[in-house]
């Protein structure tokens, strides 16, 4: 009986991991499609894909960085 419980737990874990892998693959495919079409990637958690606005960021000394 304990062997069946171990297998059920292992099967559930494998199903959960497979589902997460499929979801990750779908997100990555959506990102690639958005990049190919030249549109901004609107998924959450990607601040680098958002347009930059506001004043230039300051360097470690507090001075604005120059665009060289």
Taking residues 38-66, what's their average pLDDT? Answer: 61
- Given a contact cutoff of 8 angstroms between Cβ atoms, the answer to whether 40 and 34 are in contact is yes
**Cα 25 to the center of its chain, rounded Å:** 11
Better pLDDT: 27 or 6: 27
Residue 30 is assigned to a structural domain of this protein: yes
Does residue 16 belong to any structural domain of this protein? yes
Q: How far is CA 53 from the centre of its chain?
A: 22
Cα distance between residue 23 and residue 13, in whole Å: 15
Inside any domain, residue 61: no
Does 48 reside within a domain?
no
Residue 47 lies in a domain: no
First to last CA, the chain: 69
Counting residues of the chain whose pLDDT is more than 90, the rounded percentage is 34
**Domain tally, the chain:** 1
Is 50 domain-assigned? no
Domain containing 22 equals 2-37
* pTM greater than 0.75 (yes/no): no
Q: Indicate the pLDDT class of residue 19, thresholds 50, 70 and 90.
A: very high
Token digits of residue 46: 């990607």
18 has pLDDT over 70: yes
Average pLDDT over residues 6-19: 91
């Amino acid at each position: 009986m304990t062997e069946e419980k171990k297998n059920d737990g292992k099967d559930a874990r494998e199903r959960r991991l497979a589902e997460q892998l499929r979801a990750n693959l779908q997100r990555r495919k959506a990102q690639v499609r958005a990049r190919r079409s030249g549109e901004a990637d609107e998924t959450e958690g990607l601040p680098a894909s958002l347009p930059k606005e506001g004043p230039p960021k300051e360097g470690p000394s507090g001075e604005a960085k120059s665009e060289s």
